Amino acid sequence: MVTKLHFGPGPNWVKPDESWGSIDADGFRGDYIIDFNKFEGLPFADNSIECIYGSHIFEHISIFTAPAVFKECFRVLETEGCFRIVLPDVRKSIEQYLQGNRDFELFQRRERSLKRLMNVDEVSLFELLKGDFLSPSSQTDIFDKQTLAHQNAWDFDAIVIELKRAGFATEKITRSQFQQSRFDCFNFEGTYHSEANEADRSMYVDVSK
């Protein structure tokens, strides 16, 4: 019986045990296939899920849909259930942009991908920063060519407010660090290749219901 959820696990994650279920738009990666561009809810009963993990997935959900997704996470989590969110740390990217640092590893990677996806020869520093907020999808085998990858962004204050709107209490939302969750069920973090491992450009948030 699935009582733990991993949103957007990627190709390298291995389930710790059968209590874990994955949610993804890709049928090869998800036990539950959900396209968040057409989100209607999570297929689980109220208070039925022990924990939820999502790394570099929620920024792929639009500003119009994300509130509904977080409300659904609150609904399905059991009392004292836990939720770990890993997001691009937009503050770090803004700081690198203001310093004019095109050598920031994330910006270099974005420059390569934008040149390829947009078929352009030159990319501005601001366009590299903009990738934290808006970016073209490379999953054209799943989504329409006009679909965006990144459609949303938060700093810590903004994600606290977003989670409060979903029903979570402020005092149960804390900032964390890579592999330092206060919840044991997320000990798999960092044991496989994932954007969560990129601590230099990620923000880690622990939440309980």
Residue found by looking up tokens 């699935």 in the block: 2
Residue 94 in domain:
no
Quick check: 70 pLDDT over 80? yes
Contact 86, 194 (CB under 8 A): no
**3-state SS record for 70-128:** HHHHHHHEEEEEEEEEEEECHHHHHHHHHCCCCCCHHHHHHHHHHHHHHCCCCCCHHHH
pLDDT above 70 covers a percentage of the chain that reads 96
Judge whether 58 lies within some domain: yes
Residue 101 resides in a domain: no
Q: Write down the mean pLDDT value for the chain.
A: 94
pLDDT single digits (tens) 163-206: 999 999 999 999 999 999 999 999 999 999 999 999 999 999 99
Nearest 5 degrees, angle CA 179-CA 184-CA 188? Answer: 50
Is 95 within a domain? no
Pairing of strands 77-88, 32-33: unpaired
Q: Where residue 95 falls among pLDDT bands split at 50, 70, 90?
A: very high
Look up residue 170 and give its DSSP letter.
G
Structural domain includes residue 181: yes
Residue 134 lies in a domain: no
Which structure tokens are listed for 183? 């919840």
Backbone Cα Rg of the chain:
17
Instruction: Please indicate, yes or no, if residue 133 is contained in any of the structural domains.
Output: no
- How many domains is the chain partitioned into structurally? 1
Cα–Cα distance for residue pair 176/84, rounded to 1 Å: 9
Q: Reduce the DSSP state of residue 17 to 3 states and report it.
A: coil
State the first-to-last Cα distance of the chain, in angstroms, to the nearest integer: 21
3-state SS class at 36 = helix
| 75-100 core/surface letters (b: 16 or more CB in 10 A; e: else) | bbbeeebbbbbbbbbbebbeebbeee
Question: Is the predicted pLDDT of residue 143 greater than 80, yes or no?
Answer: no
Q: What's the predicted TM-score (pTM) here? A: 0.94
Residue 199 placed within a domain:
yes
- pLDDT for 100 equals 98
Residue 26's pLDDT is what? 83
Contact residues for 123 (Cβ-Cβ < 8 A; gap 6+): 110, 111, 114, 115
55: domain CATH number is 3.40.50.150
Q: Could you list the residue range(s) of the whole structural domain that residue 10 is in?
A: 4-89+149-208
DSSP-derived secondary structure letter, 61: S
pLDDT tens track for 10-55: 899 999 999 999 999 888 788 999 988 889 999 999 999 999 999 9
Does 141 score more than 60 pLDDT? Answer: no
